[in-house]
A and B are shown apart, each in its own frame.
Chain A
């Protein structure tokens, strides 16, 4: 079983749609969680951290369920510019030594 699992997609949605990505992780000792975004032929960049209480940044909402070892990302009112691959990222330990990336979920937003 992979340490971090994501639905690979692709997700094809129209502009304005709401889309949700899910991610599960296997190591209960995981300490911190993130969503990264990777555009085609570019490096990954941090989208947002994920906090236990859930957090929101504009149209993006991230949730963490430690009991179920599950992370989610919700994008509301999708824009064409949201088309990218979204990577779920889990950190083991507090030193940031072991950062595990999911394989990513590809999103296409169409006009």
Chain B
């Protein structure tokens, strides 16, 4: 069974903290993504990676960075958490190809206080 695992389901952090969200996939997928999902706005792409050590900005990269040192792991970093980064964060992975179905992790509900 395919699997994308995010390190935490729920996180509460203080403003200004550095926050790490971890995502691991066991499907040997080339592509990995970080989205945030907010009511009425849907899923918005923060960053994606199409290979180890490669990263590309999505639509809303400000305030975030990412790291992909190994193929199976894609980390999202909030350098200095702010209250407007309170959201549901979803990691996904897909195989490179013409019909790239994305598989999602269960999501991390982050609250910044």
Contacts and interface: CB of A to CB of B under 8 A. Distances in A.
Nearest to A101: B43
Q: Give the dominant DSSP class at A's interface.
A: strand
A86 B55 CA distance: 29
Q: Place the interface of chain A in its size category.
A: 20 to 34
B101 A34 contact: yes
A46 B90 CA distance: 15
B46 to A, nearest CB: 12
Interface stretch (B13-21, B67-75, B77-85, B91-99): B91-99
Nearest to A6: B42
Contacts of B102: 44, 46, 89, 96, 99
Residue among B33, B45, B50, B100 having the largest count of chain A Cβ atoms under 10 Å = B100
Contact of B42 (A45, A87, A97): A87
Interface string B97-112: 1111110111100000
